[in-house]
Amino acid sequence: MATAEQIAALYRTHFPAFLRFAFHELHPGQRLVEATHIDILADHLDRIARGEITRLIINMPPRSLKSFSASIALPTWLLGKDPTRQIMSVAGTRELAADFETATRTLVAAPRCRALFPHLKLEGRPGDLRSPHGGRRIAATVGGTLIGRGADLIVVDDPIAPAHVHDTRRRKAVKTWFDAEVIQRLNNKETGAVIVVMQRLHVDDLAGHLLGGEQPWVHLNMPAIATSEEKWALSNGRAYVREKGHALAPHIEGRQQLFDRMLDIGAYNFGAQYQQAPFEHMNEDEARGGCFGGPDDEWGFPAKWFGMVPESVIMAYELFGVGKHHPAAPAREITAEEFERYSRWCEDYQRRLQDDPAAEFGPPAGETWPPDPDAPPPAPWVPPDEEEEVE
């Protein structure tokens, strides 16, 4: 059995262990439900600490412990190991920045944490906590000026709120601010590290902007449901494989719960926030609308079957099993072939409109929708078993 000093040494030298220590210090009486994604997340942050990664984007679903790990536990651990470190924590709002700072103060002041790092003391005015040894933990907000401040590590967390992500000017402002302010604030551009923590909200959000740029970023992208086989090799030699169709943490939030969540928030929001795969939406004001928008709003003509392919049907087809009927589906289930045909008709109509603005939408000659209107309805939808692999 390990001694108390051996356990303390593990906390001081191994970030994945300290992450769990920090969680229990700040959430006494609450059990941390172990999950594979926590190991993978902690390993990536440990590699940041070792200098193996200097640019990291973390895209994970809500409540995945990503902000706690990157904005609270990691800065505390780094300052405990080296009280001369300078760390900048940048949050999307003042309230979030204050929450991160308060949690950090509480963790540093906890008796067991003080026993681990007796030299770690953070004092000063809100937003600028200083160590007697020259280290700092600076709090800032996205969009604010960072002039005169430098850091060895910068963590940008939740740079834009879901309520603002469809505002083109706000998205542009966040990207412009990041390009102009963040990298320049690193004390050493080569060895300094930047972490961006967020859930994907839009194809043109900050993560999309950075991943599409010239600067290489390590991308830790873990959707709620795997859309392909995932393989993860950790620094300690362990390896994890997540099969296509499996939930990120099935014992915490399984596929049935995720399916219910999709119906609750809409497939458009689910695809972005939970799957980290935002897609273009022709009617961004309607999170639950059809994939191609409503006929009155977007096309200006009636089509009785236009709404027969809502986003929830597409999402269910992609993530929860081909051909499975469910409460959000139309009375008659839509197959992948039918959806592809429908998409082709929409593209054909767009082309015909360029030649004839009065062109009517409808299937090409000889085709009908649906192909077999008298087909019997499918059996009631039953959620797939958690262990079943979705082809």
- Note the pLDDT of residue 77: 98
Mean pLDDT of 90-97: 95
Give 9's contacts (C-beta < 8 A, 6+ positions apart). none
* Side-chain half-sphere CA neighbours of 48 within 13 A: 33
Mean pLDDT of 67-82: 97
Is residue 119 over pLDDT 80?
yes
- Top pLDDT among 378 and 53 is at 53
Read off the amino acid at residue 96.
L
Is residue 313 over pLDDT 70?
no
Specify the 3-state DSSP secondary structure of 20. Answer: helix
Give alpha helix (H) positions in 212-297.
255-265, 267-269
Is residue 370 over pLDDT 90?
no
Mean pLDDT of 77-87: 96
- Top pLDDT among 359 and 228 is at 228
- Tokens (6 digits) for 120: 């770690």
Is residue 279 over pLDDT 80?
no
Mean pLDDT of 216-226: 96
Nearest to 212 by CA among 223, 226, 200: 200
- Note the pLDDT of residue 149: 86
- Tokens (6 digits) for 156: 């940008």
Read off the amino acid at residue 84.
T
Q: Are strands 193-198 and 153-157 parallel, antiparallel or unpaired?
A: parallel
Task: Please measure the distance between the N-terminal and C-terminal CA atoms of the chain and give it in whole angstroms.
Answer: 45
- Tokens (6 digits) for 23: 């969680």
> Using the 8-state DSSP alphabet, how is residue 59 labeled?
E
How many angstroms separate the CA atoms of 174 and 206, rounded?
7
- The pLDDT-based confidence of 261 (bands split at 50, 70, 90) is confident
Mean pLDDT of 129-151: 90
The sign of the torsion formed by the CA atoms of 296, 300, 303, 308 equals: negative
Q: How many beta carbons lie within 10 A of that of residue 223, not counting itself?
A: 21
Q: How many beta carbons lie within 10 A of that of residue 325, not counting itself?
A: 20
Containing 349, the helix (H) or strand (E) segment is helix 336-355
- Note the pLDDT of residue 297: 37
Quick one: what percent of the chain has pLDDT higher than 70?
74
CB distance 342 to 309 below 8 Å: yes
- The pLDDT-based confidence of 317 (bands split at 50, 70, 90) is low
How many angstroms separate the CA atoms of 300 and 286, rounded?
17
Nearest to 249 by CA among 71, 386, 68, 391: 386
Domains and CATH numbers, the chain: 4-222 (3.40.50.300), 255-355 (no CATH)
- Note the pLDDT of residue 57: 98
CB distance 388 to 226 below 8 Å: no
Mean pLDDT of 362-374: 59
Mean pLDDT of 380-384: 45
How many angstroms separate the CA atoms of 359 and 299, rounded?
11
How many angstroms separate the CA atoms of 201 and 198, rounded?
9
Is residue 182 over pLDDT 90?
yes
In whole numbers, what is the pLDDT of the chain averaged over residues?
81
Distances (CA, A) of 244 to 202, 225, 230, 318, 384: 24, 8, 8, 11, 13
- Note the pLDDT of residue 328: 42
Is residue 363 over pLDDT 60?
yes
Output the pTM of the full model.
0.77
- In terms of phi and psi (left: phi > 0; alpha: psi -120 to 50; beta: otherwise), the region of 347 is alpha
- Top pLDDT among 81 and 316 is at 81
Is residue 106 over pLDDT 60?
yes
How many angstroms separate the CA atoms of 107 and 120, rounded?
11
Least trusted range by pLDDT, from 8-17, 320-329, 335-344: 320-329
- The pLDDT-based confidence of 336 (bands split at 50, 70, 90) is low
Least trusted range by pLDDT, from 78-82, 90-94, 146-150, 281-285: 281-285
Is residue 304 over pLDDT 90?
no
Containing 83, the helix (H) or strand (E) segment is none
Nearest to 70 by CA among 80, 50, 85, 56: 56
- The pLDDT-based confidence of 84 (bands split at 50, 70, 90) is very high
Least trusted range by pLDDT, from 17-26, 146-155, 286-295, 361-370: 286-295
CB distance 371 to 339 below 8 Å: no
Read off the amino acid at residue 131.
S
> Using the 8-state DSSP alphabet, how is residue 92 labeled?
S
